[in-house]
Amino acid sequence: MRKLLVTGGAGFIGGNFVHHWCREHDADRVIVLDALTYAGNRATLATLIAEQRIEFVHGDITDTPLLDRLFREHAIDTVVHFAAESHVDRSIVDPGAFVRTNVVGTQTLLDAALKAWRVDGLWRENVRFHHVSTDEVYGTLAPNDPPFSEATPFAPNSPYSASKAGADHLVRAYVHTYGMPATISNCSNNYGPYHFPEKLIPLIIVNALHGRPLPVYGDGRQIRDWLFVEDHCIAIEQILSADVAGQTFNVGGRAEHVNIDIVRRLCELLDARFASDATLAARFVECPAARGIACDSLITYVKDRPGHDRRYAIDPTLIATTLGFEPRETLTTGLARTVDWYLTNEPWWRSVMDGSYRDWISSQYQRTLT
């Protein structure tokens, strides 16, 4: 039986991972630590908490006494570290919050694991620290450049990606200096259920349902590699189950697409859902599709983000050949599942759209309309 500490487990990827792990590893003990900042939502884990499948702890990864107590009281042997500030736009406005959580928080968590797992210079058996990172640490790619590999030099271009690169370097340093049994995964853009509606895909879905502008940065030709979040959870599970301590794996969806095409595909899916289900028009009266108008009529080009990376792409060869991982969802099936989840889980996303969210969307997008 494993005893996992999942940081950021009430967030998007972390919440999906907790659900996945509880489904697949019923005997394991899962402790979720989350600071419940704006993007963390306890409702994501409500059923697991109610069923006592997990223990939820409201706290911060920079709180050393709290971390020491959790490692001691729960005999934690596995850390899966998702907790991070992750929205590039917010990092441009407030870089310090990203350094505090992503860099200082990771170092504090590493120290807690070091203290709990290394005694008299010897490491406990069967312990693992897994750090979840991003492809953004590698910077940007030109159209004809090969995708990022694990050997690609770091070249972060935003305060967010710089803070994640700093965290990656710390994990590597603890592996090299102390022998920390740690692994790292650098993933491409995730999408799927429980995604806070500030990132592209959930923002487009929720704004369309509200009849609000669908903001597209610049010319919309930025390229991203898309990974369905459940596939990402499976990849992390495979890394944790393998004897690969000290290694880094790039996890991608083999799905490079231009942002504006993603927006249009989401609009087409919503149009089709409204055309085939008359009840949706009564539930979402503000959506153009409720009146037979195409959702892409809401597309609005806005001024580009400062320092916006043009292209990300992941080369997943290493994890495919080493662990046999391949994404199960195509972009077509993944986007369809995502749209259907938001249509059937309206209470969840409405619960996160509080005043601070609306103020943020207004300040970041409406002022930049061209």
**Residues annotated as part of the active site:** 135-136, 160
**Beta strand segments in 59-180, E:** 78-81, 118-119, 122-123, 128-134
Task: Measure the CA–CA gap between 32 and 49, rounded to whole angstroms.
Answer: 10
Phi, psi (deg, nearest 5) at residue 60? -110, 140
Q: Which two structure tokens, joined as six digits, stand for 368?
A: 């930049």
Are 188 and 321 a contacting pair, CB within 8 Å? no
The half-sphere exposure of 259 on its side-chain side, counting CA atoms within 13 A, is 26
Q: Which two structure tokens, joined as six digits, stand for 116?
A: 């709990």
User: How far are the Cα atoms of 9, 72, 185 from residue 67, in angstroms, in the given order?
Assistant: 15, 9, 23
First-to-last alpha carbon distance for the chain, in angstroms, is: 56
Are 302 and 216 a contacting pair, CB within 8 Å? yes
H helices, E strands: number in the chain? 15, 14
12-24 and 229-241 helices, crossing angle to 10°? 60
Residue 322: exposed, middle, or buried by beta-carbon count in 10 A (0-12, 13-18, 19+)?
A: middle
**The length of the chain, given as a count of residues:** 370
